[in-house]
């Protein structure tokens, strides 16, 4: 991906997420109004409400991971934790965000992309923990089973996508491009029940 391709892809990501946020919010408001009137006290409506909450969190997540970012814009811990907590509801993956301070949006974008990379290694679910250490960032994925495809993960530390990644692995290509633009690399350690990324 060239720099122009990357810029266009982030604009497309921002546009899609922007257009999806409003209708999802409207559906959520409708369910809330039904609940207040006593019309939504059923397992079916509860399932719909939970699914909308999760979808809304995913769109917010994607908006940061795949959307445009201002150089100095920061994201507060409360917003990040809210997104990751809502994404954890009803799913196989749980996210734990340890940093207490606000983080540059560009940095959160890279961390979210790397979280998605970890997701691919954890098909049976598990826990993804993000920590800010004095030496840098550490992302740990813990699961009963982990599955790593070396050639896919190699994309993270190369500026070129070779071989081409599948649509479900686009996060590797984009994260690799961001890392290359910043002159950074990711160190991967794999165990039987975990994957650790350091950068």
Is 176 strand, coil or helix? Answer: helix
Task: Encode pLDDT of 110-153 as tens digits.
Answer: 999 999 999 999 999 999 999 999 999 999 999 988 988 888 89
Residue 15 is predicted with a pLDDT of 60
Region 152-174: mean pLDDT is 77
Kindly indicate the confidence band of residue 185, based on its pLDDT and cuts at 50, 70 and 90.
Answer: very high
Task: Encode pLDDT of 20-78 as tens digits.
Answer: 666 666 766 777 777 777 666 677 777 777 777 888 888 889 889 888 777 788 999 99
Q: How far from each other are the two terminal CA atoms of the chain, in whole angstroms?
A: 22
């Amino acid at each position: 991906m060239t720099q122009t391709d990357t810029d266009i892809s982030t604009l497309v990501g921002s546009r899609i997420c922007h257009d999806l946020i409003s209708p999802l919010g409207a559906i959520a408001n409708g369910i809330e109004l039904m609940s207040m009137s006593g019309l939504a006290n059923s397992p079916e409506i509860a399932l719909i409400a939970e699914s909308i909450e999760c979808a809304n969190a995913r769109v917010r997540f994607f908006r940061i991971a795949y959307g445009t970012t201002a150089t100095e814009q920061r994201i507060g811990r409360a917003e990040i934790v809210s997104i990751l907590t809502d994404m954890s509801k009803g799913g196989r993956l749980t996210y734990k965000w340890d940093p207490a301070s606000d983080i540059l949006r560009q940095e959160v974008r890279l961390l979210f992309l790397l979280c998605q990379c970890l997701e691919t290694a954890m098909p049976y679910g598990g826990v993804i923990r993000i920590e800010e250490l004095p030496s840098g960032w550490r992302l740990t994925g813990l699961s009963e089973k982990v599955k790593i495809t070396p050639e896919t993960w190699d994309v993270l530390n190369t500026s070129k996508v070779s071989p081409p990644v599948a649509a479900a692995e686009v996060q590797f290509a984009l994260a690799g491009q961001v890392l290359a633009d910043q002159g950074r690399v990711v160190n991967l350690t794999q165990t039987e029940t975990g994957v650790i990324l350091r950068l």
